[in-house]
Amino acid sequence: MRNVHPDADGVFRVVAQQKNGSVPIGASLTATEDARSWLSPSGDFAFGFQRIRGKDNYVLSIWYDKIPDKTIIWYPQGNPMVSRGSKVELINGRGLVLSDPQGTDIWISSPISNLAYAVMNDTGNFELFDSDSRKIWESFSFPADTMLPTQIMKRGGVINSQKSETNFTGGRFQLRLLPDGNLVLNSRDIRSNYPNTAYYISGTYDPSNSTNSGDQLMFDATGYMYILRRNGQRFDLTPNDALPSGDYYHRATLNFDGVFAQYYHPKNSAGNTSWSVPWLVPGNICRDIVGERGSGACGFNNVCSLNGASRPNCECPPGLPLLDPSDPYGDCKLNFTPSCNEDEPYYKEDLDFMEFTDVDWPGTGTTYVIIDSINTQECKDSCLHDCSCAMAIHDGDKCHKKRLPLSNGWTNESLSLKAFLKYRKGELPRVSFPQFPGKKKNQKTLITIISALLGSSVFVNVIFIGVICLGFFLNYQRKAKNHYPNTKSVNTNLPHFTYRELVEATNVFKEELGKGAFGIVYKDERPSWKKRRHLALGIAKGLAYLHEECSTQIIHCDIKPQNILLDEYYNAKISDFGLAKLLIRNQSRTNTGIRGTKGYVAPEWFRNTPVTTKVDVYSFGVLILEIISCRKSVKENESGNDYGAILTDWAWDCYEERILDTLVGNDLEALDDYKNLTTFVMVGLWCVQENPSLRPTMRNVIQMLDGVVEVSEPPCPFPLSVTIS
């Protein structure tokens, strides 16, 4: 049976009355706080939208519905996370369709001309059937990060991890059954999907006898996993007798931290019983993942240690904060990057080292020199006088000199080596840096010293207290000298620059951009193509957050270079929300007067029509074309020749005539990365389409820039202008 109910927009849609897990054509679900779901006959599994913990986003998914934590076991690859009000619908001729609140398609299962119904079954598999009851699509064939009993992976099969616990986009790790029959775990480059060196190999490839090699990864109905060889023999993964008898749920998940583990959970448990782990690989991911490429179990410059559950913990070294504070497994940023540019000399007296024990960054890709028969001081001196050297690791009588970024960092008390990280004095606080992982050992040593002092004579204690007081006094005097007179001291983490550094950065204050109440703004030396790519992606992510991830949707209305702030690592921060427009819940467009800055204003502002977030997309399109070409959106040409005066027009001409070298001013670095250059230009041209409906969302922009979604050929952005001319 089916009932018909109106949506919030007044459109009547079919609401399924489920029977035996069956879902009829026309049935739909909407991402809301109290969203319904499609249940399997037993009620064990549910298909629908789950809200992501701590966010106002949702993920289309399949989960265990009877377990309190609602463990997710499937989600569509590529575009799983959506905003409130998004919808999934079963449509004949199209399949299972996921769309955003504006009705734009985000994900489609597969086009199906004679789709009849769908079934959420008790194995956790969501299936689509045609009018002859033939199965024509199933979620088991497109796994996310989890396998379930009765699910099979064939040779060439792959699953990707999540990016983090709350980010369901594709992460850094893969489980693959290679064509040769080996089951492997490897990290990957997310942008290119290029696999790095495997850190787990099953050993089920036999070069001397192909019939003895692996053929399928099996997860049988009893909960045991094994690799089925081509000769029919088994290579067991789940240890014998590792699973309890009784009624249990079973799953095997490639976790976001790169550990592949099998889990079981009692079906009829009282309270919040957790999942148990009968086996996992690798045994020590911190140590086993070391390779030439990739950052390791943790991000670049990060340090991995193993917890009691054989899962990695990641911790940035003191003074090196996380690049993304919300991702402890991500990269740690350094406050000093050694430079070998002759125009930017450094002085060894300005440098110092942070010292670590029981820590190593053994990534071979970052080691460029190994010196034998050398002591610790000689190792440090060698790094000090080498502008390419960011870290020196002294192990025995060997000195390993490393470049940035550091990879595969891990810690263990059994390591007998010392690591020295070079930094510029004044950029990091002069504190005693704790050792990894022996913090308790250091604390115990400190307690012992204090106890010994307190147990000594009164005379010694008086001297000790006097030394401390003198130290505080000198420190106070030093701080007082470092501040301007007659001003109050303000604690800040803003970087400080010497006059010499400012002279060099601005080419002796050559070009003035403008003046304000706080002083004059001067233009910096063109950024590298790599930095420009990073900048464009950062701005896109900031806008996507405003448009889709904020609890209240925000249209900025004035995206332009002057409103983009950069930190020292070229991380973009969107600023100046003076013209911003808030959208109330379930509102996708608004009426307001013209807002913005000449050269960045979308055409719909002048048509007296409601505006949407697509006005920011247009402004971003102009901005990304500026970032690519390193020129203004509107250029005043003193020669009187108007060709190329409007950046969007000129960019289209350069793209259409395939002369992108002209657009980037023969920037060799950009031209060497021609594929990405073309992608970025195409994205910019899609964003500046006169028709707002043709512009992508900022989430789509990120996916295109990241290479997750292929970019199609853009049409002429201004067909009306072309027709008139």
What residues are labeled active site? 558
**Residues 6+ away with beta carbon under 8 Å from 474:** none
Cα 347 from Cα 355, distance rounded (Å): 20
3-state SS of 433-493 is CCCCCCHHHHHHHHHHHHHHHHCCCHHHHHHHHHHHHHHHHHHHHHHHHCCCCCCCCCCCC
C-alpha distances out from residue 679 to 193, 628, 668, 701, Å: 16, 11, 17, 10
What length is written for the chain?
725
Cα 693 from Cα 715, distance rounded (Å): 13
DSSP for 122-188, written as a single string: TTS-EEEEETT--EEEEGGGS--SEE-TT-EEETT-EEEEEEETTEEEEEEEEEEE-TTS-EEEEEE
Q: How many CB atoms lie within 10 A of CB 151?
A: 23
Q: Judge whether 685 and 651 are in contact, CB under 8 Å.
A: yes
The two three-digit tokens of residue 462, written as one number: 């008086």
**Burial, 566: exposed, middle or buried (Cβ in 10 Å; 0-12, 13-18, 19+)?**
middle
Q: For residue 170, which phi and psi values (nearest 5 degrees)?
A: -60, 130
**Residues 6+ away with beta carbon under 8 Å from 724:** none
Classify 28 as helix, strand or coil: strand
Sheet of strand 276-281, all strands in order from the earlier edge strand to the far edge = 146-147, 248-254, 260-266, 276-281
Nearest partner of 226 among 286, 151, 289, judged by Cα: 151
DSSP for 269-330, written as a single string: -SS-PPPEEEEEE-S-HHHHT--SSS--SS-TT-EEEE-TTS-EEEEPPTT--BSSTT-TTS
b/e code 576-615 from CB counts within 10 Å (16+ = b): eeeeebebeeeeeeeeeeebbbebbbbbbbeeeeebbbbb
Q: Judge whether 312 and 306 are in contact, CB under 8 Å.
A: yes
Nearest partner of 124 among 88, 150, 145, judged by Cα: 150
Q: Judge whether 126 and 47 are in contact, CB under 8 Å.
A: yes
Q: Judge whether 579 and 557 are in contact, CB under 8 Å.
A: yes
Give the bridge partners for 392, in sequence order: 401, 420
Q: Judge whether 38 and 50 are in contact, CB under 8 Å.
A: no
Q: What is the DSSP letter of 713?
A: P
* Long-range Cβ contacts of 559-567 (<8 Å, 24+ apart): 559/600, 559/616, 559/619, 559/620, 559/623, 560/596, 560/597, 560/599, 560/600, 560/619, 560/623, 561/623, 561/626, 562/597, 564/535, 564/539, 564/623, 566/535
Rg of the chain taking only CA atoms, in angstroms: 30
Q: For residue 226, which phi and psi values (nearest 5 degrees)?
A: -160, 160
Give the bridge partners for 418, in sequence order: 357, 394
Cα 712 from Cα 683, distance rounded (Å): 9
- HSE, CB side, 13 Å, CA atoms: give it for residue 650: 22
Classify 648 as helix, strand or coil: helix
Q: How many CB atoms lie within 10 A of CB 552?
A: 10
